Structure 1
């Protein structure tokens, strides 16, 4: 039976792949291009994390990540008209993927014996880096570099997950609480337009 983290990983892969394919379809990519964007969105953050942790990325061992992205592609093809009408579909799937991948990345690094702050960084990379690749591929400014709360939601969720572990809460409950925290921080930040301060400078001196 797959572990709870594995289930979260596959759900996050599906959600992130849909967010990437959804944006690629808005940019009029063909099926192959949209699949590549979706796959890069889904596995990009985890790949960077695993390279830093000196382990083999799971998609190079398990073909289910390729299959999961293919199912996401099929989902968008079948329900594309409905997804386009719902303007918040990208935001929803992106937030779900961000939340799930944050706890997956944190859990993997922490289980390998790394400290809390390294685990939080790995969780943030897992959650946010795939979205950076997606935005680069579709020629958009990555969300992580805008004033929206994005990677900071991963940091907050990682801290909550760590506090849960230190409080003696069961690991899977800590993952749920941490993931829900990431999701809620992202949702509330966008809804109430909570942003980080913008670093101002003189463009004429650049």
Structure 2
């Protein structure tokens, strides 16, 4: 999950970004909660697992960047995660039946988090390399922790296009900012690009090549 962009980056779109940001937290939290439900965990376990994808990537990013951790500054994402965990615990059959919808919502959350994370890192360090790395970490690390704790093969280590989409979004944002494209335009173009890459993977079954045998 990514911290809200500063006002100077999003201007009049700040409220919309904050809303989408919390939507991404909610969807990522549901992905963690459903993984815990499938492992027959109790409600405490479901809540803890929900936190990993919702705030794990952003937490790691902020620790590495040595800035205040976003959910300590503003606890709203934590409360949103708790709500998602409770909903998932009691309504898991309904959510599982809408799994296709959640996959697309997750794709949007991944794209948004990767770009917001890259933007925060770029502001903090001025390094394109660090910004791209932190953008990818923001989008995928929480899900990796979720999968490891649930004893599943992390999604980013499978052949499915996932982390590549985060890389595309973060890289595009840094490129556009380097070309002095307006910041809110850079944001939305990059989110759209990352979402498109992920969508191609979902619709066409694309994957990265494996080494020759």
TM-score by structure 2 length? 0.84
Give the equivalent residue in structure 1 for 2:133. 121
Q: Do structure 1's residue 62 and structure 2's residue 74 form an aligned pair?
A: yes
Give the equivalent residue in structure 2 for 1:85. 97
Q: Is the 8 A contact 2:160 2:201 kept in 1?
A: yes
- What is the aligned length? 201
Q: Which runs of 5+ in 2 are unaligned?
A: 8-13
Give the equivalent residue in structure 1 for 2:10. none
Distance 1:18 1:42 in 2: 9
1:85-115 Cα distance to aligned partner (Å, 9 max, x none) = 1232442233222112101111101112421
Distance 1:12 1:76 in 2: 15
Shift of 1:18: 1.4
Q: 1:166 to 1:71 in 2, by over 3 A?
A: same
Q: Do structure 1's residue 148 and structure 2's residue 146 form an aligned pair?
A: no
Distance 2:114 2:150 in 1: 23
Distance 2:176 2:91 in 1: 38
Give the equivalent residue in structure 1 for 2:27. 15
1:8-56 Cα distance to aligned partner (Å, 9 max, x none) = 4323212211111122222222211111111111111111111111122
Q: Which moved more, 1:85-94 or 1:137-146?
A: 85-94
Q: Do structure 1's residue 166 and structure 2's residue 178 form an aligned pair?
A: yes
1:63-83 Cα distance to aligned partner (Å, 9 max, x none) = 212101022124324643321
33, 37, 55: which one pairs with 2:49?
37
Q: Do structure 1's residue 99 and structure 2's residue 119 form an aligned pair?
A: no
1:154-184 Cα distance to aligned partner (Å, 9 max, x none) = 1111122223323443322221221121122
164, 183, 199: which one pairs with 2:211?
199
186, 189, 209: which one pairs with 1:177?
189
Q: Is the 8 A contact 1:15 1:96 kept in 2?
A: no
CA RMSD of aligned residues (A): 2.2
Q: 1:173 to 1:11 in 2, by over 3 A?
A: farther
Q: Is the 8 A contact 2:111 2:139 kept in 1?
A: yes
